[in-house]
Structure formats: structure tokens, C-alpha cells
């Protein structure tokens, strides 16, 4: 018998109509790496919760079928007992810190104390695990002071010291910046080699493709496909279940490069094996997009949170109507820059002009009329018990009448495809939907410029496609869209102008092709190439290829 055996598992959360899990049967062997993919709401996290017994023990609700983990029934064995066999790491690193310990070391030992592990053994395990995850040097730091990637590694360490047979990672990098994600992925890579059983839920399909022995595709609480990465990701019905195949697979499919077993390659190395030397690339000419009218002008801006410590120094920048992406690592000064533009922070030196007027004189609330800002965390703003009222809050504040406000709000909700949820309580929606509520609440105010802080976090492929569409629509309407982004694929195919920041300075400023050609600056800013671009480069393209169409137009099979 396999280590995890799930038979006809059905589950419904309390007070909901639809089954979150609908007849799932699967088995997972010891030592395997299983990837679980599927769009938001397809039941991935619920399945993870069922394996560790949180479903049904913690969430209650209606439960049928059986989940057997290492011979124990997950429905009835207490979670605290099952957690000896199964470890679970989830998205938000911050909420996984116990909050009771002010040293990383003590935090990591917190779980072991619950399992009555003797102190010497605790120390031994903590030392070796911290070492292994590359966070030994932080052991005396306060875990709350660490970066997202470091915090997430502390969370993984806190689970690994319990020496579970299976480790479940539920989108562990979805809330991290590129460097943080890399830190976590390199840990995952290392664990994979060590042979521990891993179940990984992940939206980053390229990663899952290269790690997994087998992949399970979920939709509406059902297993719609399972098999090797090639089998599942080559399948034609993948997109109809809301998942985009890896860049490699899409290109190989379009050019009909099949592996001997007639499936398509799913990793860059597989693709290279098949396609190397069999492609010839034409040069792609860059068409510089014309500058529009100036909207923002930042003159000699300096700013620091603590005196004598400038986060941004002597910055000169101007924004016209082109949709603009700002990229760079956390701490590069992106959010600070955005907040300065919005007037939430006042520059220590220099001035900021919006349509020729100095913003220093206006209050934030009065600027709301012309500059919109969408915060990262929707829960920092949502307070109305009804979605529509939440979205109407901004429009009413800036003096629209009830009727116009309602119209604008409905239009904005339609744009994020939440029109049918206008009367719902925002807290009954999932995080990715709440993010869309927050976005539409700013769109409804019809500002001249809108600043988005990490709009793609927590979004799946469909959500990202929707954001791409919204950016297009808004700039068509003449709105300036400025977005801080970590998703290079979206940067490459949706923005006419890209600004690379590092250490409070602008390293590069140009169109996507120019920026992604500047490999030195990218490395300095700790950024990666978009997947398509990287694939083109690996296969010998001279030009920077930004998206699938461009790739296919410039290439011929030889």
C-alpha cells in the first residue's frame, strides 16, 4: 500500500453549497515528488488540509471517503498526532511564525517542545536544519525582522525539525519576491535530492515541471489529470482547466517538437535536447513606442525613513502615458517611489509635479481624485459588509453622487469579473477575489493615473490574464498605469516602458526589449528573464524575444 491513500474523498466547507473536494482518489508513494496544480479555488489547499487532518477536524463541514496516511486515518487521528508524519508549510510566511519566540532558534524549536523531544536532540536537529537551509547565521535574530524568503525558510525549518515523513508545501513562494522565491526553491531542490516525500502545490508551472515525478491537476475539486509532468502538461485540455503550460511546452507544441514517446518537453533542458541546432532565428527589430504627454515629473527627489539614511537619493524621472512597470528586489525602493508619487510620503528634497502641479500642497485625500493606488494587501482596506459598498466608498468620497458611484462601481466590478458577487460579503470571497475587489474599488474612482503594488500576487494564470487585460483597457482609456511587478512574463508582454530599480536608483529605463537585453543591470538588480526570453536565449536566439507570438514569428525549423 502507498504511504498516502485517498479514496473517493468528498468534502464541503460549512455553510457552502459546492463540494470543495469531489470524489478524489489518489495514492502517493514514499520518496516521490508530487506536484499539485490547478487554478485558484480548485481545491488544492483543501486537499492538503485533508491529508494533515485539518479537514475535517479543524474546519468541520461534510466529509466522506477516506484518507489514510502511514496507516492512520486522517479524519480521526488528532492533527497534533498526524503532524508527526506530515508537515505543512503554507503561503504566508508571517502567519506561520508562532509570535511567541523572539529568536529564530527558539522559533524553530517551538514545535519540537510540543513533541517532547529532549533538549540535546532539539539542539542537534535545529543546528543541522538551520545549517541546511542556509539560515544558521540568523539564529539569534528576531524572526519578524527577516525578509519574506528568510522567514519562509524559518517556517520550513520549523517543520523539518519535526522530521515528518511527508512535507507538503502549499504555494510557499506565492507571496515572495523573485530572490525570496529562489531561496525557497533552492531549498526545495535540495530536499528533493535528499529523498524526502514532497507534495508541492505551486502556480509556477515551470518549477513544478522540472521538480515533479508526477503531477496532479485539480479542477472543481476533482482530479482531472495525473501522470508524469510530460503527460499532464502536454495534454490539450490543460488550458481549459485554467492552467497555462510551461513556455517550453507551448513553443514545442507550436513547432511540433515531440519527444520519442510523443509527449512534449516540459523543461528547458529537455527542449534543448530536442530543438538545439534545429531552429534558426530571424532578428527582431525593436519598435520604440512614442512618448506621450508628461503626467508625472519627479525632480531631484531624495527620501529616507530615518534621517541620514536615504532610500532614494537624487532621483529624476518623468512618466508619460505609456504603461510602465517598475521592477527590482524588495528593498530596492519601488514601493517608496510609488508612495512618494501618491503623496503618502513627502520627499525630503526635491519636488513632484503631477500634470504640472506640485503635489506637496495637496492632501492625500484630495489627490485621490486624480491618482489611484492599489495596496498589496486587500485586507488593509476592506471594511464594508458588501462588495458593492466597498467599491463605492472611494467614488462617494471624491464627491460622485450615489447613482454615478454605483454605475462606476458596477462597471469596475464587471471589469474584474465580480459583477455577480456585488451583493456578497467580501470576507466570504477568496484572497485573489478580495484583491480584485480592492483593485476595482480604485478603478471605480476613475483617476488619471493608477499605481498598482504587486497586483499578480496570489493570482493564478486566469487572474494574471485578467490583470493584463485590465492594464490594456485602462491605458486605452488614457489612464497612466504604473505597476510594481515581480512577474517578468507579464512585464514583457504588457508594458511599453520598464524601469529597473536597485538600491534606490534607476538602473535601466526603456522598453522591455532594451531592459531585458541589459543582462548586467538585471543581474545587479537580482532579476531573471521572462520564461520565453530565457528559452529563446537557451536555444540560440540573438534578439530578445518577449512573448510567444514574437518567438514563433522569428523562428523557423531547419
Nearer to another protein, 239 or 430 (CB): 430
Return the range that interacts with another protein (CB under 8 A); candidates 353-361, 441-449, 511-519, 545-553.
441-449
Nearer to Mg ion, 44 or 406 (CB): 44
Nearer to another protein, 203 or 441 (CB): 441
The secondary structure of 534-551 as a DSSP string is: HHHHHTT-SSPP-SHHHH
Indicate whether 118 belongs to the interface with another protein (CB under 8 A). Answer: yes
Compute the residue count for the chain: 558
User: Is 341 in a helix, a strand, or coil?
Assistant: helix
| Pairwise CA distance, residues 267 & 205, whole Å | 10
Task: Please give the torsion angle defined by the CA atoms of residues 372, 377, 381 and 386, in that order, rounded to the nearest 10 degrees.
Answer: 110
| Pairwise CA distance, residues 13 & 6, whole Å | 18
Partner interacting with residue 430 (select from Mg ion, ligand ADP, another protein, none; CB below 5-8 Å by kind): ligand ADP
Return the range that interacts with another protein (CB under 8 A); candidates 220-228, 322-330, 374-382, 546-554.
374-382
Neighbours of 260 (CB within 10 A): 6
- Strand ranges for 443-524 from DSSP E: 449-453, 480-484, 497-502, 505-510
Structural Rg of the chain based on CA atoms? 25
Using alpha carbons, list the distances in angstroms from residue 397 to 225, 366, 374. 49, 10, 16
Partner interacting with residue 210 (select from ligand ADP, Mg ion, another protein, none; CB below 5-8 Å by kind): none
Nearer to another protein, 247 or 416 (CB): 416
Q: Which grid coordinates are listed for 443?
A: 478603478
Indicate whether 379 belongs to the interface with ligand ADP (CB under 6 A). Answer: no
Among all chains, which residue has been given the C-alpha cell 467599491?
391
x/- site string to ligand ADP, residues 402 to 431, per CB under 6 A? Answer: ----------------------------x-
x/- site string to ligand ADP, residues 50 to 89, per CB under 6 A? Answer: ---------x------------------------------
Give, as one character, the DSSP assignment of residue 448: S
Render the burial of 142-162: b for 16+ CB within 10 Å, e for the rest: ebeebbbbbbbbbbbbbbbbb
Shortest approach of Mg ion to residue 285 CB, angstroms?
42
Helices (H), 116-177: 119-132, 148-160
Nearer to ligand ADP, 43 or 246 (CB): 43
Shortest approach of ligand ADP to residue 451 CB, angstroms?
27
Indicate whether 416 belongs to the interface with another protein (CB under 8 A). Answer: no
The closest alpha carbon to 509, from 525, 531, 530, 528, belongs to 525
Nearer to ligand ADP, 310 or 487 (CB): 487
Nearer to ligand ADP, 55 or 156 (CB): 55
Of residues 37-66, those binding Mg ion (CB under 5 A):
44-45
41, 143, 328, 343: which one binds ligand ADP (CB under 6 A)? 41
Shortest approach of another protein to residue 122 CB, angstroms?
5
Indicate whether 281 belongs to the interface with another protein (CB under 8 A). Answer: no
Indicate whether 42 belongs to the interface with ligand ADP (CB under 6 A). Answer: yes
| Pairwise CA distance, residues 447 & 354, whole Å | 12
Nearer to ligand ADP, 38 or 53 (CB): 38
User: Is 452 in a helix, a strand, or coil?
Assistant: strand
| Pairwise CA distance, residues 298 & 352, whole Å | 5
Indicate whether 233 belongs to the interface with another protein (CB under 8 A). Answer: no
Indicate whether 114 belongs to the interface with another protein (CB under 8 A). Answer: yes
Q: Which residues sit at the interface with Mg ion, rule CB under 5 A?
A: 44-45
Q: Which residues sit at the interface with ligand ADP, rule CB under 6 A?
A: 13, 16, 20, 38, 40-46, 59, 430
Amino acid at each position: 500500500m502507498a504511504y498516502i491513500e485517498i479514496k473517493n474523498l468528498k468534502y464541503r466547507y460549512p455553510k457552502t453549497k459546492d463540494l470543495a473536494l469531489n470524489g478524489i482518489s489518489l495514492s502517493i508513494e514514499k520518496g516521490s515528488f508530487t506536484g499539485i496544480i490547478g487554478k485558484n479555488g480548485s481545491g488544492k489547499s483543501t486537499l492538503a488540509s485533508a491529508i494533515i487532518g485539518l479537514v475535517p477536524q479543524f474546519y468541520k463541514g461534510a466529509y466522506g471517503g477516506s484518507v489514510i496516511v502511514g496507516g492512520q486515518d486522517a479524519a480521526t487521528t488528532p492533527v497534533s498526532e498526524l503532524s508527526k508524519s506530515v508537515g505543512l508549510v503554507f503561503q504566508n510566511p508571517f502567519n506561520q511564525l508562532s509570535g511567541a519566540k523572539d529568536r529564530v532558534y527558539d522559533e524553530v524549536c517551538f514545535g519540537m517542545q510540543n513533541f517532547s523531544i529532549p533538549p540535546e536532540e532539539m539542539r542537534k536537529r535545529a543546528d543541522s536544519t538551520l545549517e541546511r537551509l542556509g539560515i544558521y547565521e540568523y539564529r539569534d535574530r528576531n524572526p519578524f525582522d527577516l525578509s519574506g524568503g528568510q522567514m519562509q525558510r524559518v517556517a520550513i525549518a520549523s517543520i523539518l525539525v519535526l522530521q515528518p515523513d511527508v512535507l507538503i508545501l502549499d504555494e510557499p513562494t506565492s507571496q515572495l519576491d523573485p530572490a525570496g522565491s529562489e531561496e525557497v526553491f533552492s531549498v526545495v531542490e535540495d530536499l528533493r535530492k535528499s529523498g524526502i516525500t514532497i507534495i508541492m502545490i505551486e502556480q509556477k508551472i515551470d518549477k513544478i515541471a522540472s521538480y515533479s515525478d508526477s503531477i496532479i491537476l485539480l479542477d472543481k475539486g476533482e482530479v482531472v489529470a495525473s501522470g508524469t509532468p510530460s503527460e499532464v502538461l502536454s495534454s490539450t485540455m490543460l488550458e481549459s482547466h485554467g492552467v497555462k503550460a510551461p513556455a517550453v511546452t507551448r513553443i514545442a507544441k507550436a513547432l511540433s517538437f515531440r519527444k520519442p514517446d510523443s509527449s512534449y518537453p516540459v523543461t528547458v533542458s529537455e527542449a534543448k535536447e530536442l530543438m538545439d541546432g534545429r531552429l534558426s532565428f530571424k532578428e527582431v527589430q525593436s519598435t520604440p513606442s512614442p512618448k506621450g504627454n508628461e503626467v508625472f515629473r519627479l525632480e531631484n527627489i531624495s527620501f529616507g525613513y530615518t534621517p541620514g539614511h536615504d532610500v532614494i537619493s537624487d532621483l529624476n524621472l518623468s512618466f508619460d502615458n505609456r504603461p510602465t512597470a517598475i521592477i527590482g528586489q524588495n528593498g530596492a525602493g519601488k514601493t517608496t517611489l510609488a508612495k512618494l508619487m501618491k503623496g503618502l510620503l513627502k520627499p525630503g528634497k526635491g519636488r513632484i509635479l503631477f500634470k504640472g502641479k506640485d503635489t506637496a500642497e495637496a492632501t492625500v485625500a484630495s489627490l485621490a481624485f486624480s491618482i489611484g493606488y492599489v495596496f498589496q494587501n486587500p485586507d488593509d482596506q476592506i471594511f464594508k459588509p458588501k462588495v458593492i459598498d466597498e467599491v463605492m466608498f472611494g467614488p462617494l468620497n471624491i464627491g460622485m453622487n450615489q447613482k454615478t458611484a454605483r454605475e462606476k462601481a458596477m462597471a469596475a466590478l464587471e471589469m474584474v469579473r465580480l459583477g455577480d458577487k456585488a451583493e456578497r460579503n467580501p470576507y466570504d470571497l477568496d484572497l485573489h477575489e478580495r484583491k480584485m475587489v480592492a483593485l476595482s474599488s480604485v478603478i471605480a474612482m476613475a483617476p488619471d493615473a493608477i499605481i498598482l503594488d504587486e497586483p499578480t500576487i496570489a493570482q493564478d494564470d486566469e487572474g494574471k490574464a485578467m490583470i493584463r487585460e485590465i492594464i490594456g483597457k485602462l491605458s486605452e482609456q488614457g489612464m497612466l498605469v504604473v505597476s510594481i511587478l515581480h512577474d517578468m512574463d507579464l512585464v514583457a508582454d504588457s508594458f511599453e516602458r520598464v524601469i529597473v530599480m536597485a538600491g534606490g536608483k534607476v538602473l535601466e529605463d526603456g522598453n522591455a526589449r532594451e531592459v531585458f537585453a541589459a543582462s548586467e543591470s538585471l543581474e545587479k538588480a537580482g532579476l531573471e528573464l521572462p520564461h520565453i526570453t530565457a528559452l529563446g536565449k537557451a536555444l540560440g536566439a540573438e534578439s530578445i524575444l518577449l512573448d510567444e507570438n514574437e518567438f514563433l514569428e522569428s523562428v523557423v525549423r531547419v
